[in-house]
Amino acid sequence: MALLEVLKYPDPKLREVARPVLTVDDSIRKIVSDMAETMYAAPGVGLAATQVGIPLRIFVIDVAADGEPSQLQIFINPEITERVGKHLWKEGCLSFPGVAEDVKRAKQVTVRALDLDGRPFDLVAHDLLAVAVQHENDHLDGVLMIDQVSAFARRRIGRKLADQTRTADTEA
């Protein structure tokens, strides 16, 4: 297993639309393993392959609370087939460190994907899991959290990230 570099906004690779996985084999299982290790080390609750520069339709999610056993879920070639309800959820993103914004999402989604053995499954997700599925699926389509917020919030995020960059440059 290896830690992968999480791309930070505004890296143009974050805007790439991911390609479908053609065959779930050992190379895909290695990518998933590395992605899970990277997500846990960050720490985060989800990570899309495009966030680590791999333009494939894969994401991993674990919404277990601190102190609970891992609930790693793997989604290969995911497709959201149903969205129900609406709510605001304060979202963060590993590609936007230190940023959290309210984003309007479906309260419940149904997602169809493949597992690590290449078998299809359907999952009905609610609340945080539904938010994470939508957020990570957006990444696979080149859609970022910043695209889901108001113009005012986008400016605020831009200023915060610019301040972080300036601080990092002066500390280097």
- pLDDT at position 159, please? 85
Compute the distance between CA of residue 152 and CA of residue 72 in angstroms, rounded to an integer: 35
Over residues 41-78, the pLDDT tens digits come to: 999 999 999 999 999 999 999 999 888 999 999 999 99
C-alpha to C-alpha distance for 123 and 66, rounded to whole angstroms: 23
Percent of the chain residues past pLDDT 90, beyond the cut: 83
162, pLDDT greater than 90:
no
What is the structure's pLDDT at 161? 80
**pTM, full prediction:** 0.93
Closest CA to 77 of 37, 34, 23: 23
Q: Residue 21 in contact with residue 58, Cβ under 8 Å? A: yes
- Residue-wise pLDDT for 23-43, tens only, equals 999 999 999 999 999 999 999
If you average pLDDT over every residue of the chain, what do you get?
94
Contacts 24+ apart (CB under 8 A), 104-109: 104/148, 105/130, 105/131, 105/134, 105/135, 106/130, 106/134, 108/82, 108/83, 108/84, 109/80, 109/82, 109/83, 109/84, 109/133, 109/134
The helix (run of H) or strand (run of E) holding residue 105 is strand 96-105
Which of these, 164, 35, 32, 143, lies nearest to 99 by C-alpha position?
A: 164
Active site positions, annotated: 136
Q: From CA 119, how far away is CA 93, in angstroms rounded? A: 29
pLDDT at res. 172 = 67
Q: What domains appear along the chain, each with residue ranges and CATH number?
A: 12-171 (3.90.45.10)
Q: Which tokens is 73 given?
A: 């879920």
Residues 75-92, mean pLDDT to the nearest whole number: 97
* Cβ count near 143 (within 10 Å): 16
Q: Which of 51, 24, 54 is nearest to 132 (CA)?
A: 51
Confidence grade of residue 158 (pLDDT, cut at 50, 70, 90): confident
Q: Where residue 168 falls among pLDDT bands split at 50, 70, 90?
A: low
Span 131-157, pLDDT tens digits: 999 999 999 999 999 998 888 888 888
